[in-house]
Amino acid sequence: MTGAAFDTVAEPGHRTLTYRDALRETMRDALARHPHVIILGQGVDDHKAIFGTTLGLADEFGRERVMDTPIAEEGMTGVAIGAALGGLYPIHTHIRVDFAMLAMNQIVNLMAKYRYMFGGRLTVPMLIRLVIGRGWGQGAQHSQSLQSMLAHVPGLRVVMPAHADVIVAGYPWLVARHDGPVISIEHRLLYDVEFRVGAETAPASPFFSRVARPGKHVTVVATSIMVLDALRAAEHLASTAGIQVEVVDLNCVSHPDAALVTESVVKTGKLLVLDTSWQAYGVCAEVCRLVCERRPDALSAPVVTMGMAPAPCPTGKTLEDRFYPNLRRLVAALARLATGHDDHGIPLPDDASQTDVYRRFRGPF
Amino acid sequence: MTGAAFDTVAEPGHRTLTYRDALRETMRDALARHPHVIILGQGVDDHKAIFGTTLGLADEFGRERVMDTPIAEEGMTGVAIGAALGGLYPIHTHIRVDFAMLAMNQIVNLMAKYRYMFGGRLTVPMLIRLVIGRGWGQGAQHSQSLQSMLAHVPGLRVVMPAHADVIVAGYPWLVARHDGPVISIEHRLLYDVEFRVGAETAPASPFFSRVARPGKHVTVVATSIMVLDALRAAEHLASTAGIQVEVVDLNCVSHPDAALVTESVVKTGKLLVLDTSWQAYGVCAEVCRLVCERRPDALSAPVVTMGMAPAPCPTGKTLEDRFYPNLRRLVAALARLATGHDDHGIPLPDDASQTDVYRRFRGPF
Amino acid sequence: MAIAFASLHERLFYQALRIRLVEQRLVELYPSDAIQSPVHLSVGQEAVAVGACEALAREDLLFGSYRSHAFYLAKGGDLGAMLAELCGKATGSGGGKAGSMHLAAPDVGFMGSSAIVASTIPHAVGAALATQRLGTKRIAVAVFGDGATEEGVYHESLNFAALHRLPVLFLCENNGLAVHSTLAARQAYRITAHAEAYGLPTSACEAGADFDEVHRVVLAAVTAVRRGEGPRLVECRTYRWLEHVGIGEDFDAGYRTRAEFEAWRAHDPLVRETALVARFAPAIRAEIAAAEAFAEASPWPAEDELLTDVA
Amino acid sequence: MAIAFASLHERLFYQALRIRLVEQRLVELYPSDAIQSPVHLSVGQEAVAVGACEALAREDLLFGSYRSHAFYLAKGGDLGAMLAELCGKATGSGGGKAGSMHLAAPDVGFMGSSAIVASTIPHAVGAALATQRLGTKRIAVAVFGDGATEEGVYHESLNFAALHRLPVLFLCENNGLAVHSTLAARQAYRITAHAEAYGLPTSACEAGADFDEVHRVVLAAVTAVRRGEGPRLVECRTYRWLEHVGIGEDFDAGYRTRAEFEAWRAHDPLVRETALVARFAPAIRAEIAAAEAFAEASPWPAEDELLTDVA
Ligand SMILES: Cc1ncc(C[n+]2csc(CCOP(=O)(O)OP(=O)(O)O)c2C)c(N)n1
Ligand SMILES: Cc1ncc(C[n+]2csc(CCOP(=O)(O)OP(=O)(O)O)c2C)c(N)n1
Ligand SMILES: [Mg+2]
Ligand SMILES: [Mg+2]
């Protein structure tokens, strides 16, 4: 990690834990340390426990603090806002970001605006956890990745951690120090992935972007699980062709570090944006804006963007596989971008070798 | 007008009508020609009649076809979708786009996906009319311009007519020929503005972008009422400094004409994007993507973007005036962009409140 | 204000009259464009706010709508801060960012108001949840119009409140109208009977212009809620004298009759009890004049306020 | 299928058994990964679909949820197209884009199914509005679970349907569960009494495994709706045998007991009437095998299908 906002955080030694455990640990600590924290959401207290991220917490802290809710996204988001206004710190979960469309009014018109609209007299400290995902025929209504809708709205802070350290250091900071609403977007396929984090981590703001791997030939700006894809592609290109890909983890998509992105593009001259959603009006577009407003002259080639195909998500496997970027297509695009031509002769990974993380994922969800 | 998709439409002779009357005429004709058209929305049948755009229609066609509704945006959007599936062509109105946040689930998860999700077996031909606006202390919840959230989602077509001819020719085409859902975003301050349209217009698709004014020194890509601002600024710069601004009316923001935009930027080398919403993840970002993916090398200067300040909309007049771009700041930005420096000596128009300008200004365009 | 009240009636009268005179003053001021903001006036509906707030404690948390001048004042919101807010001044209740539709006075438990119909109803429920968790004594109150009950979130809010027996009062100001639509064009249910389906005890006050009566009905409900008996709903019938938004009358618009208005007016204590009006009006007018002067003398927000308190 | 039925009971039995055997076959097939899609099975709930669809005409429009195999088949959806769809094949009911959660068969009035809880309820209301406007005879049916009634849109849908006396039947499959949550954790109301607050006549069928009984209750409601008497609600109590999504049992998960299941099972005609099972199963199994073969032999969607039928 270079230029990481957590440089100050890493202690000597480290430990390995899954993204899921990072979340569970963080949720547990929040409940244990702060009596005014509550977790609410459909199924937070059941045996599936939001992909395991709230497992055991209802038993430990009681169902008044780890509350199952009716199926009523708008209402429960409003309840969470009211609870925050009443002195609690609510953590509200949705097992699919798609369901948050039902709560857009509360999120966009109320939660995002309470502070400003009342001239700073009222604040809404709370965390909404939204799960995104992909694969296994989830289909059009269970596979979206709607971060750009949220990041468009001033008043919201939206993070998409690609690494457990953002959770372990950042989320305690949110609960203890930040008095506004934050949205955490978590990719389902990350839950099983293991990460190394400092043995002890001090709370620190998660509102940053960072270089996840330094390089000099091409810049990839990526979000969430796509950062892992980018790192794999970078590894492949380094070992097979000596191409050094710089991977920027955008992380805080609502407040991306424009200077960091620009600096990288100035260094490499070549940019590929890799996002979990559609390109149009998404992170792909926003990163282009950041560069266009600063140093478009630094670009020595057209920007390449990759995301979901411009369609709803189909369920059939053959279509679904084409719907998402895969490692082979990513490496191909990077090789073309880095070398400037198609006949670069760089070996591409098998279509079959695409992300074992995805391979390991098995329904039912 | 150059490169206009309606070139074929204009008949010899023309007439002048307001944006409001263009809508009312179109709504009336749709009801008169197509028995399966219904209009539904809060207040469509009252004396205010959606800013006059449905005036008299309930009396003429009956309240079963021009239906007032309960205050239930999610439900009524679902009802409209079901009515479309059942054989009607519903036109659903919201007097503020902000209220459509309550219907995002139906719009994003259902309406946008019905066709694809069922492999083309079901279609949802319908029109949603959303009003955007500005000024007079409407505040944080009545002044948003949320087109990018909608345009991000495959399955939706979103138009933001800056000229009455798009309505007069395009909306009859939608009702008669298009079998998918379309969203019309109408700026409230346009209703009173007069436009010149062909005396007779043939129905034609409104899914296009066009050059509203040709020029060669700078390109402005604008949406909705901002096109009028851009034309005013272009006029000012042409007459005071001989700077020829090319104004591109993006019009169909979900399916913008990337080639047209790129061609203009290749010609001028300089781009300013002027939108009714926030820049981040908005039209400003998307237009940057279109250029970055094609010809970033054509840019001889950083792109300038203008939209709402990155905050919820304040109500007090002094703050509100700063919240929106105005003609003076637009001209200043264009002069700087065109000349490459700040001390260009080009006279700027007064810093009048843009809202006041619109209240006085009437067209025709 | 060192005014001596001989009775509760007099004290409530004073408050209702104060709200009436404030809003009538807004009507006078509006054409000057000092207030460049939409106003949804409560003229005719003041008694609901006054009667209800009398039944509440200062620390009880109340959530309102865009039509909240009356509740803001009745709950104890500062008049000067309100007028300054309407004029977009830095001393306004929201620092000039709120306008008429987003008044707030958290120090007296007026927890904000929203221009999205029904949207603060679940906030009151959430505040009641916080009360329950934190073990405090206060209750929460959701104030909303008849039209707001049509929104899905109302159903969700009633259900959750009833399910957890939360200390929240649902207070419906039923003026029979949503903008220009009558109840018959919008609702297949009766508001009290509907709420009872969720197990909420309800009560109705037909005489919504009678603040004594409103106070009696609301107090009974508030007492039960505060005792921990779970949520309740009170419906007050009332009448909006002026147009939905703005300062005019609109009896000629076709959606209602002047006769209806006259009937309500005939029972309005603020119209009938002229002696009390004569006694109280001068002091109130003086207070309003001072508040106006304060608003006028107040500075505009600094330019950099545009980007403060965003996130 | 030239099978002779001696009675309505037999015919309904056959259909219910067919659905049961189809889903039990899916349970067998699932580990092979031929179906790479979540499945929400209706095992235990088939009788509701069969009894209800028997009361409907082919042209009546029915809207379902992610748990719709039973209603898709009962309404007359093609079995081969369903299995092909589950396998992501081009011949599937949605051309391989729909999966288990989005079955549709518009030709027989099965108007699609959605994975967003409650989201098609207003579609049925809208379809009923279309029927009313176009003067056709058909009615619309919204099928949804008990959990769906918690969503705000349910309130909005009941109100609008009742207000305009639309020809729509609200049919609630109450299996007492939303994922792993019991009714007591979610609802402060009773579903029938709540609907009555909107003026909807309601009826309940406690024996939701008994298709004859379901048919009787639904037919009475459908007849009234078709006669133009306005919307109605029918609640059928039923029981989900398997886990919420997927093919396993989960009585050890802690949210329900096996005893509950056994009680339902003991009353299930498909379990009790073994002679009918023996008589009908072979023909059904043959049909399933043919459908499976069809699905397996079907081609994958062409690559360019990815971007067709978008907008
Ligand atoms: C979600 C939403 N939909 C529509 C509107 C437009 N609108 C403003 S006030 C109003 C009527 C509300 O009626 P009611 O709740 O009875 O309150 P009243 O105005 O009568 O006090 C409507 C429909 C809105 N502000 N918010
Ligand atoms: C809007 C929404 N919220 C949450 C979910 C997750 N979810 C899927 S099924 C379900 C339970 C629905 O229960 P019910 O309506 O009773 O139907 P059942 O599954 O019992 O048939 C939930 C909460 C969803 N799909 N959509
Ligand atoms: Mg009202
Ligand atoms: Mg259920």
Residues of D in contact with B117 (CB under 8 A): 94, 97-98, 102, 112
Contact across the interface for C95 and A180, Cβ inside 8 Å: no
Could you give phi then psi for residue C131, rounded to 5 degrees? -55, -45
Q: Which two tokens stand for residue D140?
A: 């619309």
Contact across the interface for B137 and C100, Cβ inside 8 Å: yes
Contacts of A343 (CB under 8 A, 6+ apart): none
Extract the runs of DSSP E, i.e. beta strands, from chain B.
Answer: 14-18, 37-41, 66-67, 89-94, 126-132, 157-159, 181-187, 194-198, 210-213, 218-222, 245-249, 271-278, 304-308
**CB A269, CB A262: distance < 8 Å:** no
Contact across the interface for D194 and C189, Cβ inside 8 Å: no
On the 0-12 / 13-18 / 19+ scale of CB atoms within 10 A, D277 is middle
pLDDT score, position B4: 40
**CB C73, CB C12: distance < 8 Å:** no
Pocket test for ligand 2, best of D100, D117, D179 (most atoms within 8 A of CB): D117
Residue C222 scores a pLDDT above 80: yes
Q: How far apart are CA B50 and CA B94, in angstroms?
A: 8
pLDDT score, position B359: 63
pLDDT digit string (tens) for A48-67? 999 999 999 999 999 999 99
Residue among D189, D193, D199 minimizing CB distance to C159? D189
The predicted model gives A172-176 an average pLDDT of: 98
pLDDT score, position D1: 52
The Cα of B90 is separated from the nearest Cα of chain C by a number of Å equal to 19
pLDDT digit string (tens) for B114-170? 999 999 999 999 999 999 998 789 999 999 999 999 999 999 999 999 999 999 999
Q: What angle do CA B354, B356, B358 make, to 5 degrees?
A: 75
Residue B6 scores a pLDDT above 70: no
Q: How many CB atoms lie within 10 A of CB D182?
A: 14
- The low-confidence residues of chain D, meaning pLDDT below 70, are 1-2
Q: How far apart are CA D250 and CA A73, in angstroms?
A: 26
Contacts of D142 (CB under 8 A, 6+ apart): D63, D120, D121, D123, D124, D125, D157, D168, D169, D170, D171
Contact across the interface for A277 and B152, Cβ inside 8 Å: yes
pLDDT score, position A8: 40
Sole residue written with tokens 């509102």: A207
Residue B82 scores a pLDDT above 60: yes
Residue D67 beta carbon below 6 angstroms from any ligand 2 atom: yes
Q: How far apart are CA C71 and CA C61, in angstroms?
A: 12
Spell D195-218 as b/e; 16+ CB within 10 A means b. Answer: bbbbbbbbbbbebbbbbbbbbebb
Q: Name the DSSP letter for residue B108.
A: I
Tell me if chain B has a CB within 8 Å of the CB of A85: no
**CB B95, CB B65: distance < 8 Å:** no
**CB D164, CB A28: distance < 8 Å:** no
**CB D161, CB D128: distance < 8 Å:** yes
| C242-249 contacts at long range (C-beta below 8 A, 24 or more positions apart) | C242/C27, C242/C41, C242/C43, C242/C44, C244/C40, C244/C177, C244/C179, C244/C180, C245/C38, C245/C39, C245/C40, C246/C30, C246/C38, C246/C39, C247/C26, C247/C27, C247/C30, C247/C39, C247/C41
Residue C171: beta bridge partners?
A: C143, C234
Nearest alpha carbon to residue A146 among A97, A201, A192, A194: A97
**CB A219, CB A271: distance < 8 Å:** yes
Q: How far apart are CA B256 and CA B208, in angstroms?
A: 6
Q: What angle do CA C159, A156, B158 make, to 5 degrees?
A: 85
Residue D64 beta carbon below 6 angstroms from any ligand 2 atom: no
Q: How far apart are CA C41 and CA C59, in angstroms?
A: 26
Contacts of A345 (CB under 8 A, 6+ apart): none
- End-to-end CA distance of chain D, in Å? 39
pLDDT score, position A135: 80
Contacts of D149 (CB under 8 A, 6+ apart): D118, D172, D187, D191, D194
Closest-CA residue in chain C for D189? C198
Residue A101 beta carbon below 6 angstroms from any ligand 2 atom: no
The predicted model gives C46-50 an average pLDDT of: 98
Q: Is the pTM of this model over 0.80?
A: yes
The Cα of C201 is separated from the nearest Cα of chain D by a number of Å equal to 13
Residue nearest to atom 25 of ligand 2 (CA): D116
Tell me if chain B has a CB within 8 Å of the CB of D165: no
The SS3 call for residue D33 is coil
pLDDT, averaged across chain C: 97
DSSP string, A330-345: HHHHHHHHHHSSS---
pLDDT digit string (tens) for D227-266? 999 999 999 999 999 999 999 999 999 999 999 999 999 9
Give me ligand 2 centre to Cα C159, in Å. Answer: 17
Could you give phi then psi for residue A203, rounded to 5 degrees? -55, 140
Residue A358 pLDDT level (bands cut at 50, 70, 90): low
DSSP string, C56-125: S-TTSEEEEESS-HHHHHHTT--HHHHHHHHTT-TTSTTTTSS-GGG--BGGGTEEEEESSTTTTHHHHH
Nearest alpha carbon to residue D103 among D118, D83, D117: D83
CA distances from C34 to C22, C31, C38, C67, D221 (A): 15, 8, 12, 19, 60
Contact across the interface for A118 and C102, Cβ inside 8 Å: yes
Least confident of A9-13, A142-146, C66-70: A9-13
Residue A351 scores a pLDDT above 80: no
Could you give phi then psi for residue D100, rounded to 5 degrees? -65, -30
Residue D183 beta carbon below 6 angstroms from any ligand 2 atom: no
pLDDT digit string (tens) for D23-46? 999 999 999 999 988 999 999 999
Q: How far apart are CA B213 and CA B92, in angstroms?
A: 33
**Helical H segments across B208-251, by residue range:** 225-241
Chain D partners (3+ C-beta pairs within 8 A) = A, B, C
Residue C148 beta carbon below 6 angstroms from any ligand 1 atom: yes
pLDDT score, position C34: 93
Q: How far apart are CA D133 and CA B88, in angstroms?
A: 8
Residue D145 beta carbon below 6 angstroms from any ligand 2 atom: yes
Contact across the interface for D301 and A316, Cβ inside 8 Å: yes
Query: Alpha-carbon torsion B339, B345, B349, B354, what sign?
Result: positive
Residue C145 beta carbon below 6 angstroms from any ligand 1 atom: yes
**CB A146, CB A94: distance < 8 Å:** no
The predicted model gives A288-316 an average pLDDT of: 98
Residue B363 pLDDT level (bands cut at 50, 70, 90): low
Q: What is the ipTM of this complex?
A: 0.98
| A4-7 contacts at long range (C-beta below 8 A, 24 or more positions apart) | A4/A210, A4/A211, A5/A204, A5/A205, A5/A208, A5/A210, A6/A165, A6/A166, A6/A169, A6/A198, A6/A201, A6/A204, A6/A210
The Cα of D99 is separated from the nearest Cα of chain B by a number of Å equal to 9
Q: Which contiguous run of DSSP H or E holds residue A305?
A: strand A304-308
Q: Which two tokens stand for residue B171?
A: 């909306």
Residue A68 pLDDT level (bands cut at 50, 70, 90): very high
Residue B7 scores a pLDDT above 60: no
Residue nearest to atom 6 of ligand 2 (CA): D117
Residue A115 pLDDT level (bands cut at 50, 70, 90): very high
Q: Which atom of ligand 2 is nearest to the CA of D244?
A: 19
The SS3 call for residue B216 is coil
